């Protein structure tokens, strides 16, 4: 399992969103993708899932260039920027729709839906998606992301919009998934990053400003221990204190 970015640059009109970022992530576990608003986190994930094309540079999923997205994306499932299911479809229809797009057979789709209904506490799967609350829609979308059981997951603030109990369930699930998958988790919540991630990449103004294990980042740029240490490291990094 590998995600590789080489000198990716992306501009929107005159705004430089990503300025030649590079990273190479291999193996299993959760990689925290951190940075202030507008740092380029979502843009990176969009490039890795072919929702946006890089102006320059290359991205690879398991060694396959993302330009060949029909093959590269078979290994990836992405939850980016609060997606929505189709309002007119029931939860079951929507999950079945995603399963079919992933070329899963009917039996496997049924099996995975059953499993995800339990793991994510989904309500009545015959209910129309348009009738669901924000939290329930988020869980349906997460179920759609997890349905194909891909090796790599790109998750952009997956607990956003969920109440503390729902967020707890998701974090519990992510802890289980990190044993077998490579997950990039973009989040503002430092406690979530500290709790779930083994490695972090910190982004600011479209550039990677630091990357390493959570412990090494705290040791190098922070002060204190645990969440507080990571918070100080984050503040020092985005305020440029590490450069002085």
Partner 1 sequence: MKNRAFYTFFNAELKLAKSQIIAFSALSFIIVVLTGLLSIKALFNSTDFFESIGLVIWLMIGIAATNVAAGIGVMDFNKRTGLLVLSQPVDRKLIFLSRLFAAFLIVLLPITVLYISGFGIGLLLYKVSIPNIFLSYGLAVLYAFSFTAMIAGISAMSREKSTPLSFGLTFAFLAVFVFAIFSKFIGVQPWFFLPYGGLAISSVMATPYLMHINPGNYFFYYIPYLNEALLIILLYLIIFAVLGIFYYSRREL
Binding mask 138-177 for partner 1 (x = CB under 8 A): ---x--xx--------------------------------
Could you say which of 26, 56, 71, 235 contacts partner 1 (CB under 8 A)? 71
Contact 91, 44 (CB under 8 A): no
Min. distance of Cβ 108 from partner 1 in angstroms? 14
DSSP string, the chain: -EEEEEEEEEEETTEEEEEEEEEEEESSEEEEEE--TTSSHHHHHHHHTTSS--SEEEEEETTEEGGGHHHHGGGEEEE-S-----TTSBHHHHHHHHHHHTT--HHHHHHHHHHHHHHTT---TTSBGGGS-HHHHHHHHHHHHHTT--SEEEEESTTTT--HHHHHHHHHHHHHHTTT-EEEEE-S-HHHHHHH-SEEEEEETTEEEEEEEHHHHHHHH--SSHHHHHHHHHHHHHTTGGG-
Of 21 and 78, which has the nearer Cβ to partner 1? 78
Site membership for partner 1, residue 69 (CB under 8 A): yes
Nearer to partner 1, 146 or 197 (CB): 146
Q: What's the min distance (Å) between Cβ of 81 and partner 1?
A: 6
In the set 44, 50, 138, 236, which binds partner 1 (CB under 8 A)? 50
Residues in 82-101 that interact with partner 1 by CB under 8 A? 82-86, 88-89, 93, 97-98, 100-101
Would you count residue 56 as binding partner 1 (CB under 8 A)?
no
Provide the mask over 102-141, with x wherever binding to partner 1 is found by CB under 8 A and - wherever it is not: xx-------------------------------------x
Is 52 a binding residue for partner 1 by CB under 8 A? The answer is yes
- What residues line the site for partner 1 (CB under 8 A)? 46, 49-53, 69-74, 76-86, 88-89, 93, 97-98, 100-103, 141, 144-145
């Amino acid at each position: 399992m590998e995600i590789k970015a080489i000198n990716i640059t992306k501009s929107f009109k005159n705004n430089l969103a990503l300025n030649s970022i590079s990273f190479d992530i291999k193996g299993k576990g959760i990689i925290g993708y951190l940075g202030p608003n507008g740092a380029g986190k979502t843009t990176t994930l969009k490039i890795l899932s072919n929702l946006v094309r890089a102006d320059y540079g290359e991205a690879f999923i398991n060694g396959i260039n993302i330009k060949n997205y029909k093959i590269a994306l078979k290994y990836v499932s992405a939850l980016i920027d609060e997606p929505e299911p189709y309002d007119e479809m029931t939860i079951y229809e929507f999950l079945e729709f995603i399963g079919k797009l992933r070329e899963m057979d009917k039996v496997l789709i049924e099996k995975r839906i059953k499993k995800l209904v339990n793991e994510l506490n989904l309500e009545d799967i015959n209910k129309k998606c348009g009738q669901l609350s924000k939290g329930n829609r988020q869980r349906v979308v997460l179920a759609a992301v997890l349905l194909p059981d891909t090796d790599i997951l790109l998750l952009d603030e997956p607990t956003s919009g969920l109440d503390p109990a729902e967020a707890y369930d998701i974090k519990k699930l992510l802890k289980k998934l990190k044993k077998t998958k490579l997950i990039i988790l973009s989040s503002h919540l430092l406690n979530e990053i500290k709790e779930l991630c083994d490695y972090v990449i910190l982004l600011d103004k479209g550039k990677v400003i630091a990357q390493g294990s959570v412990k090494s980042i705290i040791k190098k740029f922070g002060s204190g221990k645990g969440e507080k240490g990571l918070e100080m490291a984050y503040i020092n990094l985005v305020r440029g204190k590490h450069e002085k």
